[in-house]
Structure 1
């Protein structure tokens, strides 16, 4: 599968040369932010790791520590995120979401609903190695009820493969009976079906569900559930339909309104820049009749904006 990212490995890559450029941008009076952001946004994450090693070998200093001491604010947060390997970045975000003041369910939902099974397994292993703590235990210790149970199912990363033709109708009927057809909702059924079936299978179930009930599954989830369980179920449904569309909507919500949700903006732009940012941009244009580029341009400023626009990779006006 061709990567649909906007950030590609830099062709004539030379880690020592890049380390020197960054060193010079930071030494002496004042910092050359432009040189830093232009270089870092134009290298793949694995190339950035090589630059980090070359920097340490040449200057005996930690590149990320130096960047932190020279930069500030959202720009610093964004550059540091770009310098972090993808799995390390995911586990850092999950850890902060669980261990901070109050649980940031939005982060848990976004990462666990959108990552592939192989990535979830990698995340769980890396989390254990880094924090000497079990991700599942930390999440269950910090959440409860149906929300927690669906989180646990997603963490198992054991979705069945392919489409089970024989179960499409049964699953659709099960969801209908558990929600729209009864007084009160049997959340169990929603959790089991949405948490365990493949995306391809779920899309067939959603079609069947619409024929059966006259509703899109999203409408029923909105009506039949509430709170964090509702948000998690909706994320699972949206990611089954289209992961890029799910991220396009999250970015739009993060950019519109009075204040920009920079935490979400940084996390998505960094974690999707080498994966499917081109598809996210296309979905964004289709769904919101404006380009991601122009919204970032209007809602952010300074070196932070310049870096985000480079990650966005172009305007679909």
Structure 2
């Protein structure tokens, strides 16, 4: 059986990646519809190597007859159109932050908590987690199952693509301006991003954390275990694609790097590249276009009783967004939408 699939935000970074991923993984779609704002009507977007879709107007689109919606426009847009699509009978997988902490909306990483997907029936909506949360949860899950994680301290090195196409353009334009001695223009980021790092992603909260840091904390609790304590520092860095995380965990059970390495190698969605050489770890440039969560630099942390440190890298547009959403859709049609 083939499904009718609509992609909201089809002209954005993640929307285009969703279309590519659907085609690559041969998702059973008889019809795929590209939706975006009025200014994008008539634009063409690729669906796989051979098919071109013309963008339709999201505001006027009737979702009746659509089976699955993959939504990645922006939280405010999702707040309006995701409930509208669900009310029309579609199963909606939303990539924005708007529904993630709704108790009636499951927050799903297929390798971590696929059982939570059953909760989609309450509202017809499934939330895709934050990009950095997804890759961290994939790496933490097998370790938590074995050792019971008590506390996570994570510092992120997040690429500009996580802030959209305009952010990528700003990094490119600022870099070029520096080389030709032009003025540096800022519009997306609060400070210069070229040849710089910015320890602020999203708005500040009353406790001094940013919303990105808060998301990593509360989403990890919802996905993995509410007892896990998470301290995050989220930093934007001048790379185009790929988020990197430096992760330190404390566990209830004794943990060691050698055994953890074996466990991670056997974990779904994880690729371990871990040798003490310049070829023995992975960087963001090397993971662009790849699906796994890569783990490197696994080592014991002797500053706490049961501690482990490691380096974690993934393509934020794929596993951090599009791939995770498509994997959720695959689980839906396999386990919940079978007639």
TM-score by length of 1: 0.30
Q: Which has the higher strand share?
A: 2
TM score, norm. by length of structure 2: 0.29
- Larger RCO (alpha carbons 8 Å, 6+ apart): 1
Greater CA radius of gyration, 1 or 2? 1
- Structure with greater proportional helix content: 1
